[in-house]
Structures are given as structure tokens and as C-alpha cells.
Amino acid sequence: MQKRELGNTGMQITPVGFGSWAIGGDNWQFGWGAQDDGDAIAAIERAVELGINWIDTAAVYGLGHSEELVGKAVAGLKVKPYIFTKCSMVWNDRRQMGNSLKADSIRRECEASLKRLNVDAIDLYQIHWPNPEADLEEGWQEMARLKEEGLVRHIGVSNFSVDQLRRIIPIAPVATLQPPYSMLRPAIEQKLLPFCMEQNIGVLVYSPMLSGMLSGSMTRERAANFSADDWRRNNREFQEPRLSANLELVELLKRIGAPHGCSAGEVAIAWTLRHPAVTGAIVGGRNAAQVEGVVGAVEFRLSAEEIGDIERFLVMMPK
């Protein structure tokens, strides 16, 4: 499987990585509904077996549960993937969530993640959200200290703007940025991606299929019957009038993918990987079959004509 260099880290990563947001399960604010732990571990094992060499997780996914599952899955693997995780989203004993970029909080979170993941050092440690913004500098200074001490190998950020990146770069180089990016969320092409190319910041995009909307398996019936604890239930992309337009886009992606033996989801992922600033795309999988349904995006490349067909359709979609 081909690999790309991730920014200035020296890590060679596959264009697709395993995303573990959804396997965190239910019973937290941004859950995806009930998840079988055995299926989650099997999904990770299958991803690595197919050649995917990095896993993206976060402490807050399932309020620690996702990291625990990643730790269990990786412990049984002969070939160890890189593990990327995140900090700054915290919770209390009542499972109420908040944000902190205080130095002592980030250190506690790092130590807790190391324990849950059962590793000596985290390959890439990222600030999950730039909140509270007033504490960006304090948080990034502590991230740099963790790297100096060897608790983490590389440090990056997620969901930061260009202005926020400019604030922290003088403190310590930013290895990576993790923004949302899909054909339905292309805004980062304007300023953020060019800035990352200029600064040699590796870009790991999340939600390339917009949380399953572009996977090819979404239907009106499925969207209407999301469980009460599935956060997508209240997302406008899964509601009319956006839902119908999005499903029409999916039909186009299916037509484009069919001659290549690719799913709509693989076409959607390949669209994000076409941009020269994007190093890798984070793709979730709740079971082994879902992983098998998207891994083709690693090798698939859209032609200029196919990209043009997609762009013309996107221009006509309701805003």
C-alpha cells in the first residue's frame, strides 16, 4: 500500500487511516449509538491487515472507551500501527463535557491516554479544539513540553484556523492539522490548505464521507430512524431539503465509481485525497465489512473529467 510523508514528522502513512470516533459507542453527547466492542476490535484488526498503518482516536470518544478499544486491538497485533490521539475535551464524574487548555489538564489527559492505550509514547498528540481560545499559548507550550519529555513523539492540532495556527507556531512547530473536509464541506481549500502547504504542515482530514452521508449506504429511511443517541439525528445534512440533494450526489458518486469497482464512499474519500495539501483521510469503521468497503480509496484516483462532473453537480446544489 502506498504511503505519504506526514508533514515534517518523518512518518510515512497510508492515505487512509482508521477513525475511531464511532466505536466509542453511546451514552455520551456525540455518540453514534450502540456499538459492539468485538466488532470494533475486529474492524481495527482488519484495517491493519489490509495495510492501513495509522489509527486516529481521541480521549473524549466514548469518554475514554475508544482509546481503551484501540489499546486492546493494538496489543494483539504483530505489526503495530501509529496511534494518533487528542486532548482538550474533558468530562467529569457525571459525564458532563467541557474544554480545557490549561497545562495541568493537558498533562493529566496525556497520562490517562497513555494508560488507556497501553503505550509508552503517543505517536501524534493533538489539541482537539482551540477552546478556550485565550489559553491557546499555554496549551501549546505544554504540548511542546510533553514532546521534549518523550511522552509524545509529535504534536499537532485539530479544528484550528490560520490565525490560531499563526499564534502558536512561534512557540513550537505544528506538525499536523486535522480539519473537516469533504465535497460538502470544501471551505478549507480557500485559506487553510494553502497555508499548510506553505508551512509544511501535514493535513489529516476527517469526515471525508460527512459522517456516512456520502458512504453509499445512507437512505431516507435510515436517516429518519437514527437512534435517539445518534448525534446525526439533529444534523441538517441528514434532514430535508439537504438530505434529498445529498442522496442525489451519492447517486452520481456511485455512477463514477462503478466502472472502477469503487463505492460512492471510496469516490468521496478519493476526492479529498486529490488535493495536494491533504496527506491522509480519516475513515471510520464500526465493523470489518465497513473497513473493507472503503479501503479501495487508497489506490483509486479520480480523472480530471470525473472531478469536473462532481464540481458541476456541487455548484447546482442548494446552499
Which CATH number characterizes residue 182's domain? 3.20.20.100
Tell me which of 61, 82, 125, 181 is the catalytic residue: 61
Cross-strand partners of 278: 203
Numbers of helices and strands, H then E, in the chain: 11, 12
CB 297 within 8 A of CB 15: yes
Query: Per-residue pLDDT tens for 70-93?
Result: 999 999 898 899 999 999 999 999
What is the residue whose three cell numbers read 499555554?
Answer: 138
- 222-248, pLDDT tens digit by residue? 888 788 778 788 787 888 888 888 999
What are the pLDDT digits (tens) for 87-101? 999 999 998 999 999
At 151, list the grid cell. Answer: 511522552
Among 37, 105, 100, 97, smallest CA distance to 68 is for 37
Distance CA 317, CA 319 (A): 6
pLDDT of residue 28: 67
| Alpha helices for the chain (secondary structure H) | 37-49, 65-75, 103-117, 136-148, 162-168, 192-199, 220-224, 242-257, 264-273, 288-292, 304-316
Strand-pairing partners, residue 188, are none
Q: 235, exposed or middle or buried, with CB in 10 Å at 0-12, 13-18, 19+? A: middle
Q: Supply φ then ψ for residue 83, to 5 degrees.
A: -120, 125
295 found inside a domain: yes
Asked if residue 267 belongs to a domain, the reply is no
The percent of residues above 90 in pLDDT, for the chain, comes to 78
Please report which confidence band the pLDDT of residue 154 belongs to, taking 50, 70 and 90 as the band edges: very high
The residue-averaged pLDDT of 280-308 equals 94
Q: Is residue 42 included in any domain, yes or no?
A: yes
- The C-alpha cell that represents 264 in the structure block: 460512492
**pLDDT single digits (tens) 155-185:** 999 999 999 999 999 999 999 999 999 999 9
> Which residues on neighbouring strands pair with residue 185, listed in sequence order?
182
- Return the residue matching grid coordinates 475511531: 20
Nearest to 89 by CA among 163, 38, 29: 29
218 or 159: whose pLDDT is higher?
159
Nearest Cα residue to 277 out of 201, 175, 207:
201
Asked whether residue 217 is assigned to any structural domain, the reply reads no
Residue that wins the pLDDT comparison between 285 and 17: 17
Residue 61 is among the residues annotated as catalytic for this protein: yes
Q: Residues 43, 287: contact at Cβ < 8 Å?
A: yes
| Number of other residues whose CB lies within 10 A of the CB of residue 104 | 10
Q: What would the pLDDT profile of 9-25 be if each residue is shown by its tens digit?
A: 999 999 999 999 888 87
Residue 219's pLDDT is: 82
On whether residue 238 sits in a domain, the answer given is no
CA 18, 23, 25 angle in degrees (round to 5)? 165
Residue 300's identity, in one-letter code, is F
Q: Is residue 231 part of a domain?
A: no
The whole-number pLDDT of residue 224 equals: 81
| Residue-range definition of the domain harbouring residue 174 | 11-211+278-300
Say what the pLDDT of residue 42 is.
Answer: 95
DSSP 3-state assignment of 89?
strand
Overall number of domains in the chain: 1
| pLDDT tens readout for residues 181-202 | 999 999 999 999 999 999 999 9
Judge whether 111 lies within some domain.
yes
Q: 319 pLDDT exceeds 80?
A: no
Q: For the whole model, what pTM was predicted?
A: 0.91
Whether 312 maps to a domain, the answer reads no
